[in-house]
Amino acid sequence: MALSSTLLLAGCGLLPGEDERRTVTVWMMKGSASPEFVARFTEDFEKEHRAIDLEIRVQEWTGIGAKVKKALKDKSADGPDVIEVGNTQVAQYVDEGGLYDLTLESARDLGMDDWLPGLAEPGNYKGAQYGIPWYAANRVVIYHKDLFAKAGIKRPPRTREEWLADTEKLNTGGNQGIYLAGQDWYTLAGFIWDEGGDLAEETKESSGYWRGALHSAAALRGMEFYQRLQAFGRGPRDADEEHPPQAGVFAGGDVAQIVAVPGAARAIEEKNPELKGKLGYFPIPGKTARKPGAVFTGGSDLVVPEHSDDHKGAVEVIAALAGEKWQTDLARTMNYVPNKAKLAPAVAGEEGVAAMAVGAANGRATPNSPRWAAVEADNPIKGYMTAVLTGGDPATRAREASRKITRTLDLGGL
């Protein structure tokens, strides 16, 4: 009789504990998803998963690092089960301990082979996948259509050499061919990656030991291209793109191009409504027309704390958020790039986002060292760029910057 009862319960899907409702708590960052998206997703997920109540708590970016670290050490049942983190933050959290290894689920259920590399790579640490790509954003070229037309340029450039030639044409009559600040190191990184170089390199795969690489021949070629392009405008050589904010400079009407995320167009149009309808977008050109330029891919990954008491429920939430249905919804709602290149048609109707999606297919992330944030905090790349643009010897200055990067990554001098 006992055996019969057990079989009956199993046939009804009511094994002990199976019918108990539980709550899965998700931390999402403010601005990552609209309240309407969150409401739609929550309602749909709970319909599909009758045993799960979904609790989404929106977090502020300010101070989030310390808050996440505290949550990863919390062994109580009150902490989050899923956390949205910046894609370049994953290595730091793994290194300090507390993240659940999602390698098996990534290979079996989540389609990891199709993920954008700029999101997938920083979520992988020492051969294991801890961060699941959620959404991406990257830089494109925003251009002034009227200035292009006046210069006789009928279509956006598709190669670096075309880009240089067009920018030189545009840099005349008081107009700037491009406004490119001297310390826009994310844009420089793309040029370095295109040449086959990097900002820093791991001395041996998964060794955890890194050294600066700005002095490599490939990285120097990337800096040379940056120098040539930057000369066709009046961008400050000793400041980055936020000092002053380049959207405000573009709004003046005499700048033909800037390198920025498409969302910057809103700020431009707010400052100068006369530019509405006059802005265009194209992917940062690559060395050949067959492949767009490499770009830094920003965005978010989803992680699961090791101490979560519901790993299964957490993975089900991530599978939904990172799956085709809700990736498409999020991309259209927020103008993001979906986590897989094959989903790019979801944003084909938005010119800026479509250009961003093309570039994202050749996206990269900063070096996957847990101490890279310390490099950015006192960024020697910016000083190196200014030194070169003001006449310093590129090779000498690059080696100095590489030494500083290496010391920050705790590896001693070169």
* Those residues with Cβ within 8 angstroms of residue 314's Cβ, 6 or more apart along the chain or in another chain: 24, 81, 82, 100, 304, 308
Neighbour tally for 60: CB within 10 Å: 10
Q: Hey, which bits of 46-182 come out as E strands?
A: 52-59, 82-86, 124-125, 128-129, 132-138, 140-144
Query: pLDDT-based confidence at 14, cuts 50/70/90?
Result: very low
Tell whether 115 and 145 lie within a shared domain: no
- Position 207 scores a pLDDT of 75
273 domain-assigned: yes
Range(s) of the domain holding residue 55: 19-138+297-364
Tell whether 302 and 171 lie within a shared domain: no
- Position 19 scores a pLDDT of 58
Q: What is the pTM of this model?
A: 0.89
Tell whether 339 and 254 lie within a shared domain: no
Tell whether 145 and 90 lie within a shared domain: no
- Position 204 scores a pLDDT of 80
310 domain-assigned: yes
- Is the pLDDT at 410 greater than 90? The verdict is no
Query: pLDDT-based confidence at 4, cuts 50/70/90?
Result: very low
For residues 129 and 101, what is the distance between their CA atoms, to the nearest angstrom?
Answer: 6
145 domain-assigned: yes
For residues 133 and 85, what is the distance between their CA atoms, to the nearest angstrom?
Answer: 10
Total domains, the chain: 2
226 domain-assigned: yes
Tell whether 346 and 254 lie within a shared domain: no
4 domain-assigned: no
What are 224-281's pLDDT values in tens digits? 999 999 999 999 999 999 999 999 999 999 999 999 999 999 999 999 999 999 999 9
For residue 174, give Cα distances in angstroms to 22, 180, 253: 65, 16, 11
- Is the pLDDT at 411 greater than 80? The verdict is no
Tell whether 263 and 204 lie within a shared domain: yes
Tell whether 232 and 301 lie within a shared domain: no
Degrees, nearest 5: CA angle 163-165-166:
65
404 domain-assigned: yes
Tell whether 310 and 168 lie within a shared domain: no
- Position 75 scores a pLDDT of 85
* Those residues with Cβ within 8 angstroms of residue 10's Cβ, 6 or more apart along the chain or in another chain: none
Three-state secondary structure call for residue 144? strand
Query: pLDDT-based confidence at 12, cuts 50/70/90?
Result: very low
89 domain-assigned: yes
CATH number at residue 390: 3.40.190.10
Tell whether 288 and 214 lie within a shared domain: yes
Three-state secondary structure call for residue 410? coil
396 domain-assigned: yes
Tell whether 194 and 245 lie within a shared domain: yes
What are 294-328's pLDDT values in tens digits? 999 999 999 999 999 999 999 999 999 999 999 99
Tell whether 162 and 242 lie within a shared domain: yes
Query: pLDDT-based confidence at 70, cuts 50/70/90?
Result: very high
Percent of the chain with pLDDT over 90: 90
- Is the pLDDT at 196 greater than 90? The verdict is yes
What are 88-141's pLDDT values in tens digits? 999 999 998 999 999 999 999 999 999 999 999 999 999 999 999 999 999 999
Tell whether 162 and 252 lie within a shared domain: yes
